[in-house]
């Protein structure tokens, strides 16, 4: 914030350390940095009651026979006894034990020649005893507005000093905060600060640095400052009572969409393109009068809308969102909704109210909302409130002190640290209870630890027993032991968590990433996958329970089915490609497990051959609502299949025992599957589904069954078809 009043000289050493994120670990660079910055001494707490001082050898050869501890609050000066010393090539280390420090005070170390340096606490993030006594269990971090005053609490145990700087009517007011308990700074400021911007000013050495409030409810545009809002003004009925009962997770039918993609099409009649309001706008029609937008979702029959990231992300200019596009997997603030999706990103209330209204309206239509969360990395370590408030704590490190990079984004969150886990739990609680979301999809969940994921589920399911959590269970190369990773290989340690079943995807569809797109799967014509397909259809191929399997063949990542088939099945022509894709969507809906559909998959969405469209323009990513008209008949078939699944529990068995008792999948000559399902209630008592991706016809014997989907000619199952029989 340019108009903040910041006093004090900023240490060049600290600036370099912060920018390079060396975390005071890369000892071999210290001498060079100290020499260039004219810093001759570094003084730091390295453990409770233990101080380390470094003297540059070019300064008195690094020798000082005595050192003193000066209390800057009282002016007291006392000699401290050297307990250890060793000499490096460029500097000399001195150690001091049993030093009593009051962390509410600021100290200097003074050498025998009068050189002084502020005692820093940043290295204490590596001391277990210090962290243990600094953990904060309160639920009151952030700002708390009242008309007469606003209070602030922020956790920053290694900070020397903290201020809060508030902008009101273009004037900036800066207030000192007091260190209280458990590493928390506190201030209570008189006055009405409704909708005012603020930042914290944190001091770790000689200068103050602005930091956002990681617990604020709102923000100005482009994450420049936090905003104070009156929570009484954003109370909205979330319409949870309008949601149908969800007895089992396998009752869910998940539909993935992006707020911007879903509402941005140029021929769309939406008045709120790219906005939260566009998602819950009613009465939208396509060019030929078919339902679009919210009405289409209701008509389609899905149960859960999974929204790609709706928290504040970094690389879209919220004041000019049309300039750049991004999916949103570049988190800036987990605690506030994305400003580019609101009508006014600079008003503290707009993004909060519109996000809550969107969720409330979806609930009123019987649709639950799943939020895509990215608690594995952040867009910019050094710009994040985490690193500015508690340097070196929130991000996972490798043994050599560098940042762990399992996300391939440069910075993995250190989720198994107590206060990082607490933050994830606190934000999960906020998004569930304040905003009303009904589930979380965890991006790159394998970077997060098992304990954190299980605790999020326990907390959320205690509030709402229909809450669902699923994620990408890949084994990511983060600095965390494999046995602690929330990856699918550890599914038995997370029985309430579901995973994207990439085996289902690859077996049924074939290769998904760009270098294997030519590879076919069972439904797309590779009959060598027949036995594998038998296993994935049954829902028993990989996980302890069938409700741990998220069955999908398309999501926002990689090529759309249409673009993939245009490479792998191009010889079949357009009609053949469309038929294969429709069969893939049908089997996703009928297999045991939890079905997941990517928005537009049901009407052959294409991204023009772009396989990673995370930052490509709207014309690549947006939903083409003209396809809704062109492929209306195929959409009607998908709606029938969705209705069939919802009306018959045999497609939604939740336990292994139910499947083993009532489901039989048979391999017919390594060319076709016969999928038999039984149930004791529903529209029918028994189903037989023939899945024939081959070029061969097959006779069938079940004349007592009625054909409820597909065509049967001369008592034969035609090539490349799915036939559903019932009695």
Last residue of a domain, one of 651, 676, 692: 651
pLDDT of residue 37: 54
* Domain identity same for 581 and 477: yes
Residue 255, token pair as written in the block: 């539909």
Do 393 and 506 share a structural domain? yes
Tens of pLDDT, residue by residue over 607-654, are 999 999 999 999 999 999 999 999 999 999 999 999 999 999 999 999
Q: Is residue 482 part of a domain?
A: yes
What pLDDT, on a 0 to 100 scale, did the predictor assign at position 17?
Answer: 35
Examine residue 13 and state whether it is found in any structural domain, yes or no: no
Task: Quick: pLDDT tens for 640-691.
Answer: 999 999 999 999 999 999 999 999 999 999 999 999 999 999 999 999 999 9
| Any domain includes 429 | yes
Q: pTM of the entire structure?
A: 0.93
Both 256 and 331 in one domain: the answer is: yes
Cα–Cα dist 691/583, whole Å: 9
Same domain as 259, residue 351 = yes
| 246 occurs within a structural domain | no
Residue 478: how many CB atoms within 10 A of its CB? Answer: 25
pLDDT of 518 strictly over 60: yes
Domain assignment of residue 629, yes or no: yes
pLDDT > 90 in the chain, percent: 90
Are 196 and 317 within one domain?
no
Name, in order, each residue with C-beta under 8 angstroms of 481's C-beta and a sequence gap of 6 or more. Answer: none
Q: Which 3 state secondary structure label does DSSP give 388? A: helix
pLDDT of residue 701: 84
Instruction: Give the Cα separation of 486 and 503 in Å (integer).
Output: 18
Is the distance from CB of 307 to CB of 258 less than 8 angstroms? yes
Indicate whether 26 pLDDT > 50.
no
| Residues 647 and 688 grouped into a single domain | no
d(CA 563, CA 517): 9
- Strand, helix or coil at 276? helix
Residue bearing the bigger pLDDT, 269 or 482: 482
Domain containing 362 — which CATH number?
Answer: 3.20.20.80
- Which residue is catalytic, options 251, 443, 554, 602? 443
Read off the pLDDT of residues 400-437 as tens digits, 9 standing for 90 and up: 999 999 999 889 999 999 999 999 999 999 999 999 99
Q: Which residues pair with 449 in a beta bridge?
A: 485
Beta bridge partners of 109: 69, 117
Tokens coding 611: 């396989």
Task: Return the DSSP state at 718.
Answer: P
Active site residue 443: yes
Contact 679, 649 (CB under 8 A): yes
Radius of gyration of the chain (CA): 30
pLDDT of residue 711: 82
- pLDDT given at position 268: 74
Taking 80 as the threshold, does the pLDDT of residue 1 lie above it? no
pLDDT digits (tens, 9 = 90+) for 562-612: 999 999 999 999 999 999 999 999 999 999 999 999 999 999 999 999 999
- Helix (H) or strand (E) run with residue 679 in it: none
* CATH code, domain carrying 153: 2.60.40.10
Residue 715 pLDDT: 83
Residue 631 and residue 676 in one domain: no
Has 702 been annotated as catalytic? no
Is residue 214 domain-shared with residue 256, that is, in the same domain? Answer: no
- Which of 312, 338, 417, 472 does the annotation list as catalytic? 472
**Pair 220, 329 in one domain:** no
Are 267 and 164 within one domain? Answer: no
- Whether residue 539 contacts residue 591, with contact meaning beta carbons closer than 8 Å, is answered with yes
H or E segment to which residue 507 belongs: helix 502-508
What is the CATH number for 670?
2.60.40.1180
The rounded distance, in Å, linking the Cα atoms of 226 and 195 is: 10
Kindly state whether residues 58 and 117 are assigned to the same domain.
yes
In 3D space, the residue among 290, 289, 293, 256 whose CA is nearest the CA of residue 271 turns out to be 293
pLDDT at 512 over 80: yes
Q: Is residue 124 part of a domain?
A: yes
Q: How many domains does the chain have?
A: 4
Question: Residue 438's pLDDT is what?
Answer: 99
Strand 161-168 and strand 171-176: pairing?
antiparallel
Rounded to an integer, the average pLDDT of 103-108 is 96
Which of 131, 166, 189 is a domain's end point?
Answer: 131
Using the 3D structure, point to which of 172, 205, 234 is the last residue of a domain.
234
Mean pLDDT over the full length of the chain: 94
Task: List, for residues 232-280, the tens digit of each pLDDT value.
Answer: 999 999 999 999 999 999 999 999 999 999 999 987 788 999 999 999 9
- Helix, strand, coil % in the chain, rounded to nearest 5: 30, 25, 45
- For residues 218-237, b (16+ Cβ closer than 10 Å) or e, as one string? bbbbbbebbbbbbeeebebe
| CATH at residue 55 | 2.60.40.2320
> Could you tell me if 132 and 124 are in contact, meaning their C-beta atoms sit under 8 angstroms apart?
no
Cα–Cα distances in angstroms (integers) from residue 515 to residues 137, 507, 518, in the given order: 48, 16, 8
Burial of residue 685 (number of CB atoms within 10 Å: 0-12, 13-18, 19+): middle
pLDDT score recorded for residue 559:
97
> Would residue 31 count as lying in a domain?
no
Give the pLDDT score at 12.
27
Predicted confidence band of residue 80 (pLDDT cuts 50, 70, 90): very high
pLDDT tens-digit map of 187-244: 999 999 999 999 999 999 988 999 999 999 999 999 999 999 999 999 999 999 999 9
Residues spanned by the domain of 670: 663-726
Is there a single domain that holds both residue 122 and residue 147?
Answer: no
Please say whether the beta carbons of 197 and 203 come within 8 A.
no
Q: What is the pLDDT of residue 267?
A: 78
Write the burial class of residue 29 (CB in 10 Å: 0-12 exposed, 13-18 middle, 19+ buried): middle
Residue at 247 is within a domain: no
pLDDT confidence of residue 700: 87
- With bands split at pLDDT 50, 70 and 90, how would you rate the model's confidence at 39? confident
Beta strands in 446-564 (DSSP E): 468-471, 498-500, 549-551
């Amino acid at each position: 914030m340019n108009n903040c009043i910041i006093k004090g000289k900023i240490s060049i050493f600290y600036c370099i350390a912060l920018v390079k994120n060396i975390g005071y670990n890369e000892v071999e660079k210290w001498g060079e940095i100290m020499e260039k910055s004219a810093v001759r001494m570094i003084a730091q707490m390295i453990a409770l009651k233990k101080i380390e001082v470094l003297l540059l050898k070019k300064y008195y050869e690094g020798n000082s026979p005595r050192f003193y501890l000066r209390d800057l609050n009282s002016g007291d000066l006392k000699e401290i006894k050297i307990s250890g010393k060793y000499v490096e090539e460029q500097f000399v280390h001195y150690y001091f034990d049993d030093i009593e420090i009051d962390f509410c005070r600021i100290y200097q170390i003074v050498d025998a020649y009068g050189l002084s340096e502020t005692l820093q606490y940043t290295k204490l993030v590596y001391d277990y005893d210090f962290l243990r006594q600094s953990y904060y269990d309160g639920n009151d971090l952030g700002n708390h507005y009242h008309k007469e005053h606003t209070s602030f609490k922020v956790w920053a145990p290694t900070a020397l000093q903290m201020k809060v700087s508030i902008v009101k009517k273009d004037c900036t007011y800066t207030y000192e905060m007091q260190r209280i308990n458990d590493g928390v700074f506190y201030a209570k400021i008189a006055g009405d600060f409704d909708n005012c911007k603020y930042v914290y000013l944190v001091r770790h050495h000689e200068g103050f640095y602005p930091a956002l409030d990681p617990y604020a409810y709102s923000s100005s545009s482009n994450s420049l400052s936090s905003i104070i809002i009156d929570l009484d003004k954003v109370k909205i009925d979330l319409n949870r009572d309008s949601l149908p009962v969800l007895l089992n997770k396998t009752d869910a039918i998940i539909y993935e969409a992006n707020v911007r993609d879903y509402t941005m099409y140029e021929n769309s009649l939406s008045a709120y393109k790219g906005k939260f309001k566009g998602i819950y706008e009613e009465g939208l029609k396509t060019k030929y009068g078919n339902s679009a937008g919210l009405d289409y979702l209701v008509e389609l029959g899905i149960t859960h809308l999974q929204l790609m990231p709706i928290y504040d992300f970094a690389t879209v200019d919220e004041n000019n969102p049309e300039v750049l596009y991004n999916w949103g997997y570049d988190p800036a603030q987990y605690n506030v909704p994305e400003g580019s999706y609101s009508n006014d990103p600079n008003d503290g209330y707009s993004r909060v109210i519109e996000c809550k209204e969107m969720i409330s309206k979806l609930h009123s239509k019987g649709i639950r909302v799943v939020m895509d969360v990215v608690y594995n990395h952040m867009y910019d370590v050094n710009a994040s409130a985490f690193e500015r408030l508690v340097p070196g704590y929130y991000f996972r490190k490798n043994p050599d002190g560098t940042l762990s990079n399992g996300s391939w984004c440069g910075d993995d969150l250190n989720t198994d640290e107590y206060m990082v886990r607490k933050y994830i739990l606190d934000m999960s609680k906020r998004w569930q209870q304040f905003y009303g979301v009904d589930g979380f999809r965890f991006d790159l969940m394998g970077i997060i630890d098992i304990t954190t994921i299980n605790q999020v589920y326990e907390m959320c399911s205690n509030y709402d027993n229909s809450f669902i959590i699923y994620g990408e269970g890949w084994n990511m190369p983060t600095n965390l032991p494999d046995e602690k990773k929330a990856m699918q290989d550890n599914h038995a340690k997370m029985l309430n968590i579901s995973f994207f079943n990439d085996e289902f995807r690859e077996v049924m569809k074939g290769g998904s990433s760009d270098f294997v797109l030519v590879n076919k799967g069972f439904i797309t014509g590779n009959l060598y996958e027949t036995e594998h397909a038998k296993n994935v259809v049954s829902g028993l191929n990989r996980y302890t329970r069938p409700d741990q399997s998220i069955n999908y063949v398309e999501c926002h990542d990689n090529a759309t089915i249409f673009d993939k088939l245009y490479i792998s099945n191009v010889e079949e022509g357009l009609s053949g490609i469309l038929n294969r894709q429709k069969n893939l969507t049908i089997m996703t809906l009928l297999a045991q497990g939890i079905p997941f559909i990517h928005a537009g998959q049901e009407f052959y969405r294409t991204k023009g051959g772009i396989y990673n469209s995370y930052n490509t323009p709207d014309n690549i990513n947006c939903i083409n609502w003209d396809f809704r008209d062109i492929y209306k008949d195929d959409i009607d078939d998908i709606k029938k299949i969705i209705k069939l699944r919802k009306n018959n529990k045999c497609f939604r068995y939740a336990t292994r025992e139910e499947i083993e008792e009532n489901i039989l999948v048979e391999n017919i000559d390594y060319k076709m599957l016969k999928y038999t399902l039984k149930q004791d209630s529903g529209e029918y008592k028994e189903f037989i589904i023939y899945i024939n991706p081959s070029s061969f016809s097959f006779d069938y014997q079940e004349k007592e069954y009625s054909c409820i989907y597909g065509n049967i000619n001369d008592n034969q199952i035609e090539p490349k078809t799915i036939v559903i029989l019932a009695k």
